[in-house]
Amino acid sequence: MNEKKVKIREVGPRDGLQNERQWIETEDKINWINQLAETGLSYIELTSFVHPKWIPALADANEVVKGVKRNKSVSFGALVPNERGLERALQVGIDEVAVFLSASETHNRKNINKSIKETINILKPVVYQAKLADKSVRGYISTVFGCPYEGNVNVQRVIAIAQSLLELGVDEVSLGDTTGIATPNQVEAVLQELARKISLETIALHPHDTRGTALANVFAAYRLGVRTFDGATAGLGGCPYAPGASGNVATEDLVYLLEGLGAQTGIHLERLVNCGKWIQNKLKRNLPSHHLQIALASENKEGFHQ
Amino acid sequence: MNEKKVKIREVGPRDGLQNERQWIETEDKINWINQLAETGLSYIELTSFVHPKWIPALADANEVVKGVKRNKSVSFGALVPNERGLERALQVGIDEVAVFLSASETHNRKNINKSIKETINILKPVVYQAKLADKSVRGYISTVFGCPYEGNVNVQRVIAIAQSLLELGVDEVSLGDTTGIATPNQVEAVLQELARKISLETIALHPHDTRGTALANVFAAYRLGVRTFDGATAGLGGCPYAPGASGNVATEDLVYLLEGLGAQTGIHLERLVNCGKWIQNKLKRNLPSHHLQIALASENKEGFHQ
């Protein structure tokens, strides 16, 4: 194992765009994903097979997956909520499957109208079928570091859910700081407790930069041995609990930090920044990525609405 | 010594406003500073006594210092470049003096048209007179982690400059990441080398969030024992090398991180966020503070120009 090698999971096309109010044309999504695939990213989450009633912004999931140019160096994933979603995803041909649930009972119920236990039962055949089809599966756990409804989330509950996912056959568990409230000591505490039961090689961190702490949390996790991190190019994807505030950490900023720490991301930062410019231009509003704003500023463009 | 107690140096009224293109009325500056003084901050840098030809935004230094309501729990500082500036500052009555120079010869020359050695000679009588007047003196060293003209900056040069300042009588040396390029391992490397010669009790970190790494760098420095940090409320003060990109870390975000780490800042976060709202409202554009943007979003105001 190369200790300096890190895996970046690009979730911009799915997690970044899913709450987007503006409709992005399918051909634009495909064009943008094709650009992202040329930056050195090894994983791109293309879309979601959640019913379009719930995520209208990604109603063109089939067309997006079919339209993207395949590239052997990139694994293309999609989010699926249940067996029906998996079936659709497998039909159009995805490389990886992502499933999701919450560490907080209230958040899980608000999000998918099921208890955590019910959700795990729903995911069981999904993961089974996905593995039968020889797909890697990642499992997102949200509200790991706190819940907007319940407040504190017990780390033992997080560990139990992660263990359940791994027992189902999930290959990688991504710990989500859904509302961006984590600080590095909390990240350390959760990871240290988790590491007593689960190898950190199977763990990813999904940081949100809502309070500016995303890269501090990534630094803490990297130091403890986590080598997989989720980001969204341009910092796409606001926090659903605070419209206007930032959500996903920008992949560009994540790459800068990790390379600065001596890690190898394999990503061409300038190309990634160009992908950020492209999507900002499409959305016609300033996006939170620091590197994107520096690049626009140095071209004497101050972005939109400044 | 209480190991959890940290000192926050609020530099918004000086470092935040100095590059501001809009003229802020003197009474507004005073009003804002009076609000900041009620948040629990123990130090506020009010203004600069650099000649108004160079910093027109702070041309009302005398009036601001005279107008601010004094408060025994807050020390009010001002930046002075030379003996003439110190004389003006002492005449109107400041509590602390701040001097500055750069760790990079080219940056120092571009900034103040002098060599580093010449600058230290200029600062010698300034610090001497300030100490005679019984004032604390802080010394800013900029471009500690890299220079926009020279690139890498030798840490031994930083140490030598810090030692020169301390020998002159400076009480606290603030290490500036002027262009916001530092990553936490670099912060650690500089501080560890520095700590071999200089007590970290006399060291402050002045992080910039240009690339989103400010709080990661603060975390690294805090873990190594640094207990003094500079911030600007609302994240005021862009990076002069990339207009539109962020500069100073927002004091609100800094407080959130440090309190999350178990540190005691003594600052009332909500009041500080209200100070951020007030100045954003005055400047009529979105400022980079994460906490400010969350607060505005949760009021269903998405700030300006969104």
How many angstroms separate the CA atoms of B285 and B303, rounded?
Answer: 8
pLDDT of residue A306: 27
Would you state the structure tokens that stand for residue B95, as one six-digit string? 């509590």
pLDDT at A305: 33
* Residue B304 within any structural domain of the chain: no
Contact A242 B294 (CB under 8 A): yes
How far, rounded to the nearest angstrom, does the alpha carbon of residue A158 sit from its chain's CA centroid?
18
The partner residue sitting opposite A211, judged by closest CB among B246, B256, B303, is B256
Residue B303 domain-assigned?
no
Nearest chain B residue (CA) to A212 = B290
Q: Which CATH number characterizes residue B255's domain?
A: 3.20.20.70
B21 at interface of A, judged by CB pairs closer than 8 A: no
User: Out of A183, A242, A296, whose CB is closest to B298?
Assistant: A242
Residue A286 lies in a domain: no
Flag whether A282 is in a domain: no
Mutate to test the interface with B, among A222, A248, A273, A294 (most CBs of B within 10 A): A294
Residue B303: pLDDT above 70? no
With b meaning 16 or more CB within 10 Å and e meaning fewer, what string describes B268-295?
Answer: ebebbbbbbbbbbeebeebbbbbbbbbb
Q: Do B244 and A293 touch (CB under 8 A)?
A: yes
Residues in A touching B245 (Cβ below 8 Å): 290, 293-294, 297
Query: How many Å is the Cα radius of gyration of chain A?
Result: 18
Taking contacts as CB-CB distances below 8 angstroms, the residues of chain A near B243 are: 297, 300, 302
Instruction: Output the CA torsion sign for A283, B294, B261, A161.
Output: negative
Please state, as a whole number, how many other Cβ atoms lie within 10 Å of the Cβ of residue B208.
27
The mean pLDDT of B221-231, rounded to a whole number, is: 98
Q: Is the pLDDT of residue A138 over 70?
A: yes
Does the residue B306 lie in any domain? Answer: no
Examine residue A116 and state whether it is found in any structural domain, yes or no: yes
Range of the domain at B53: 7-298
Model pLDDT, residue B44: 98
pLDDT at B258: 98
Q: Is B238 a member of any domain?
A: yes
CA distance B112 to B115: 8
Give the number of domains in chain A. 1
A298 domain residue, yes or no: no
Burial class (CB in 10 A: 0-12, 13-18, 19+), A269: middle
Q: How confident is the model at residue A240 (pLDDT cuts 50, 70, 90)?
A: low
Contact A211 B246 (CB under 8 A): no
In chain B, residues with a C-beta closer than 8 Å to the C-beta of A261 are 183-185
Checking ipTM against 0.90, whether it exceeds it is: yes
CB contact under 8 A, B211 and A184: no
- CA of A288 vs chain B CAs: smallest distance (Å): 9
- Classify A162 in phi/psi space as left (phi over 0), alpha (psi -120 to 50) or beta: alpha
